[in-house]
Amino acid sequence: MTDGSVPRPPRPTSSGDRARGAARPERRQEAKGGAEPFVPPQDLIPRLKTFLDLVVREMALSMRYEIPAEAEDAASEPRRAQEDDAAPQKAVAAREETGLLVRFSGEDEDILLAHNGELLLALEYLAHRWLHLPPAFHDGVRFECGDFRATRLEELKLSARVAAQRVRETGQPFPFNPMTSRDRRTIHLELTGAAGVRTMSEGSGDRRHIVVYPASKK
């Protein structure tokens, strides 16, 4: 669709333009092919605290937050997430251990944890955007309140086992709702080696989800 304007004739190019134009593809290729920049956790802390102070103040939350002291000394590069969600459990644990864990506490804990931790997870997502973290490093910055993470982990594992049993009994695939890469890994890992079933991630973006299939079906 056009706006009805008359296109301008092309501007004559000079030798300088041609030189600059020849250099641009190289710069683009270098930026595209280069590795995602790693920012040590201790360098993220000041920016993360600025974000947290802003959130608590602007939302008038009666909450405190703390970043455990050991995170201040974390200097190891988090391992890059593999394309397969079912990355080895040891690699996932290593990446999370070298990252930052923010613990919230206070009178408004119920607000953060309402609707399955909807606000807590939303703030975590906004923090990733604020810090300009590539998706591969999202697991390195986590928000916790009470025992939300531990409870969520057990719920996911139970859901995985129930889904697997249903697939074994009916012989039909069982699709989960879309979920985060971290939650998908939990499902994958829980059902790794489970009799009679296999898991696959399908979809893309916000619609990416897990499907549990009978092991016999391809």
- Name the one residue in this structure whose structure tokens are 């009679």: 196
Residue 34 predicted with pLDDT over 80: no
**Domain contains 142:** yes
Query: Considering only CA atoms, which of 109, 127, 111 is closest in space to residue 51?
Result: 127
Tokens, residue 174: 């069982």
Which of residues 129, 146, 163 is at a domain's end?
146
* Shared domain check, 77 and 169: no
Considering the entire predicted model, what is its pTM?
0.60
Residue 208 predicted with pLDDT over 60: yes
Out of 27-36, 44-53, 60-69, the most confident range is: 44-53
* Shared domain check, 136 and 163: no
* Shared domain check, 51 and 141: yes
* Shared domain check, 123 and 46: yes
In this predicted model, which residue has the larger pLDDT, 36 or 138?
A: 138
**Domain of 177: which CATH number?**
3.30.1370.50
Confidence at residue 135, expressed as pLDDT on a 0 to 100 scale: 75
**Domain contains 36:** no
**Domain contains 8:** no
Residue 40 predicted with pLDDT over 80: no
121 membership: H or E segment, kind and range? helix 109-130
Confidence at residue 43, expressed as pLDDT on a 0 to 100 scale: 79
200 touches 211 (CB < 8 A): yes
| Structural domain of 88 | 41-146
Burial bucket for residue 70 (CB in 10 Å: 0-12, 13-18, 19+): exposed
Residue 75 predicted with pLDDT over 50: no
- Name the one residue in this structure whose structure tokens are 């923010």: 102
**Domain contains 102:** yes
* Shared domain check, 158 and 79: no
CA distance 9 to 6: 9
* Shared domain check, 180 and 84: no
Domain count for the chain:
2
**Domain contains 25:** no
* Shared domain check, 83 and 140: yes
**Domain contains 85:** yes
Residue 68 predicted with pLDDT over 90: no
* Shared domain check, 176 and 134: no
Which of residues 146, 173, 188 is at a domain's end?
146
**Domain contains 1:** no
Four-residue CA torsion sign, 11, 13, 19, 21: positive
* Shared domain check, 159 and 140: no
Task: Provide the CA 130 distance to its chain's centre, in angstroms.
Answer: 13
* Shared domain check, 121 and 67: yes
**What single letter denotes the amino acid at residue 20?**
R
Which of residues 146, 162, 183 is at a domain's end?
146
* Shared domain check, 177 and 159: yes
What's the mean pLDDT in 118-140? 88
**Domain of 81: which CATH number?**
3.30.300.20
Confidence at residue 218, expressed as pLDDT on a 0 to 100 scale: 59
Confidence at residue 41, expressed as pLDDT on a 0 to 100 scale: 66
CA distance 144 to 102: 6
Pairing of strands 174-175, 197-202: unpaired
Mean pLDDT taken over the chain: 76
Confidence at residue 206, expressed as pLDDT on a 0 to 100 scale: 79
* Shared domain check, 179 and 161: yes
pLDDT classification of 149: cutoffs 50, 70, 90: confident
Confidence at residue 11, expressed as pLDDT on a 0 to 100 scale: 52
Confidence at residue 72, expressed as pLDDT on a 0 to 100 scale: 46
**Domain contains 19:** no
